Amino acid sequence: MHDSQYLGYAAGIITTLAFLPQVFRIIRTRKTRDISLLWAFAMNTGIILWLFYGIAKNDLPMIAANSISLVLLMIILYCKLRFR
């Protein structure tokens, strides 16, 4: 593994974990008033594109981080639509 891949994994872990507190809070409180629906759609779309880019580049850190981020963001989007 190249040194740049360690950097990619570190960045992916930190940015992916950043979504966890928000997901846990939304699930616990069932409140999404402060989450922008446009933001949720834009982030899901952007992460899907980053995931496809990672797949095209065969970049495992990018694929792993964006796959997990996508799941977390889809939970946020689902909750935003469900708990209106």
Tens digit of pLDDT for each residue in 19-53?
999 999 999 999 999 999 999 999 999 999 999 99
pTM of the shown model: 0.91
Which tens digits make up the pLDDT trace of 5-21?
Answer: 899 899 999 999 999 99
Joined tokens for residue 15: 């940015």
CB-based contacts of 18, cutoff 8 Å, min separation 6: none
* Domain 3-82, CATH among 3.80.10.10, 1.20.1280.290, 2.30.30.140, 1.10.287.3510: 1.20.1280.290
d(CA 69, CA 47): 7
Residues 4, 58 contacting (CB under 8 angstroms): no
